[in-house]
Amino acid sequence: MNGQSVELELKQLLGEGLKSNVVLRDYTSFQVGGVCDFFYVAKTINDLVKSVEAAIRLDLPYFLLGGGNNILISDIGFPGLVIKNEADNLVFMPGSAEVIADSGLTLSKLLTEAASRDLGGVEFLFGIPGTVGGAIYNNVGTPEIAVGDFVKFVTLLIPNPKTKSAKIVKYRSDWLEFKYRESRLKNETKNSNYSMPRPIILTAKLQLVQSKREVILDRMRKNLELKKEKQPLGVHSAGSFFKNPGKLKEQTAGFLLDHVGAKKMKIGKAAVSKRHANHLVNKGGARAEDIKRLAEQLKIKVRDEYRVNLEEEIEYIGRW
Ligand SMILES: Cc1cc2nc3c(=O)[nH]c(=O)nc-3n(C[C@H](O)[C@H](O)[C@H](O)COP(=O)(O)OP(=O)(O)OC[C@H]3O[C@@H](n4cnc5c(N)ncnc54)[C@H](O)[C@@H]3O)c2cc1C
């Protein structure tokens, strides 16, 4: 099928909401990234299913974009369909502290809505940008606690390229094999470079904790203050760039990078934050290529000096 007929078919399947040649820079916290062939905003779970099914039917690579806070999209962009997840329904289960969240719900909305109903337990997530789906995929959190500890079930859309279809399945949280900044979904797909269609999280059932609104809001405020003390906020970054190779202070990526002089390093407009050596920042107009090359230089420095291989927490997306 040629490019034009793919576009026509996709438009028929997804309607006028489908856009072509959209610049992805505006959808990521790094503020870098080239153009995708097609772009579609999914407002509901139905939209998510419909768009993934359309892509599989047309053999089109697709990428599910949450808040864009943990990715580096190449300057060339993404060849295929980018689905921006804005499905954000939230259901409170009567008589319990459980909620069912659509995967496109932002963490901040989840936390504030839950707090207004005296439900907490996840205050540590306050200040972490992104969606419920992105948070589960990355098992986000602090060094001590992560979102995976609160997930009970997920519903997934699993594509089958052979039959050109997708099915919805429900799994208990142990299926997701949560580890430090890792889930089975991230682990199984991170090196596939979109040659294979990826499963996506549609909804998640989370176990929250009954508490008092004022107490929850106070904890959220305190967590945010702590985060502001330690990390550079309000800059164009993706948070921590590398995973911590160990739990001790001397084993954190920030410590190792600081000790190899990372804070003085930059390439073009890509630089290492002066506040935290594990945060790479776009000082304005950086190219994705500059950030990636800077990351590679940092890895070499740490490997040469400490014999430690740093592994990216962020993901490289698109054609490099
Ligand atoms: C300033 C700043 C501070 C941060 N602080 C922290 C922190 O304290 N702790 C921490 O752990 N992280 C932190 N992060 C990282 C980031 O916020 C998290 O990784 C976040 O969960 C990413 O979610 P997202 O929706 O933006 O995902 P995206 O960046 O849009 O996507 C990331 C990956 O998840 C996949 N994905 C997204 N949604 C789904 C879904 N529904 N189903 C399947 N796959 C999906 C995407 O396809 C992609 O591969 C920080 C980032 C920033 C910019």
Residue nearest to atom 53 of ligand 1 (CA): 238
What is the model's pLDDT at position 2?
72
Q: What percent of the chain has pLDDT over 70?
A: 98
Structural tokens at position 116: 């207004």
> Which atom, in ligand 1's list, is nearest to the CA of 29?
53
Ligand 1 touching residue 70 (CB < 6 A): yes
pLDDT tens for 108-126 read 999 999 999 999 999 999 9
Top mutation candidate among 29, 64, 70, 83 for ligand 1, by most atoms within 8 Å of CB: 70
Ligand 1 touching residue 131 (CB < 6 A): yes
- Overall average pLDDT of the 41-47 stretch: 98
Distance 131 CA to ligand 1 centre (A): 7
Cα of 125 vs its chain's centroid, Å? 14
> Which atom, in ligand 1's list, is nearest to the CA of 70?
29
Distance 291 CA to ligand 1 centre (A): 18
Residue 94: pLDDT above 90?
Answer: yes
- Residue 313 annotated in active site: yes
- Overall average pLDDT of the 153-163 stretch: 95
Distance 194 CA to ligand 1 centre (A): 18
Q: What percent of the chain has pLDDT over 90?
A: 91
Distance 8 CA to ligand 1 centre (A): 32
- Are 17 and 11 within 8 A, CB to CB? no
Q: What DSSP character marks residue 198?
A: P
DSSP element (H, E) containing 91 = strand 90-92
What is the model's pLDDT at position 303?
98
| Range 90-230 classified under CATH 3.30.465.10 | yes
Enumerate residues 6+ apart whose C-beta is below 8 A from 59: 1, 161, 164
Task: Grade residue 251 by pLDDT with cuts at 50, 70 and 90.
Answer: very high
> Which atom, in ligand 1's list, is nearest to the CA of 138?
19
Distance 137 CA to ligand 1 centre (A): 8
Domain residue ranges of the chain, discontinuous segments joined by +: 3-85, 90-230, 236-317
Q: Please tell me the distance from the alpha carbon of residue 128 to that of residue 181, in angstroms, as a whole number.
A: 13
Residue nearest to atom 2 of ligand 1 (CA): 239
Residue of 181, 198, 219, 287 marked active site: 181
Ligand 1 touching residue 204 (CB < 6 A): no
What is the model's pLDDT at position 4?
79
Q: Please tell me the distance from the alpha carbon of residue 226 to that of residue 222, in angstroms, as a whole number.
A: 6
| Range 3-85 classified under CATH 3.40.50.11540 | no
What is the model's pLDDT at position 161?
86
- Residue 307 annotated in active site: no
Task: Grade residue 193 by pLDDT with cuts at 50, 70 and 90.
Answer: low
Q: What are phi and psi of 212, to 5 degrees?
A: -110, 140
What is the model's pLDDT at position 189?
80
The CATH number given to 236-317 is: 3.90.78.10
Q: Does the predicted TM-score (pTM) go above 0.75? A: yes
- Overall average pLDDT of the 42-46 stretch: 98
> Which atom, in ligand 1's list, is nearest to the CA of 190?
49
pLDDT tens for 295-310 read 999 999 999 999 999 9
- Overall average pLDDT of the 260-283 stretch: 97
- Overall average pLDDT of the 181-195 stretch: 83
- Residue 240 annotated in active site: yes
Ligand 1 touching residue 67 (CB < 6 A): yes
Average pLDDT, the chain: 95
What is the model's pLDDT at position 146?
98
Ligand 1 touching residue 130 (CB < 6 A): yes
Residue 195: pLDDT above 80?
Answer: no
- Overall average pLDDT of the 138-164 stretch: 95
**CB-count exposure of residue 88 (10 Å: 0-12, 13-18, 19+):** middle
What is the model's pLDDT at position 191?
64
Task: Grade residue 64 by pLDDT with cuts at 50, 70 and 90.
Answer: very high
Task: Grade residue 78 by pLDDT with cuts at 50, 70 and 90.
Answer: very high
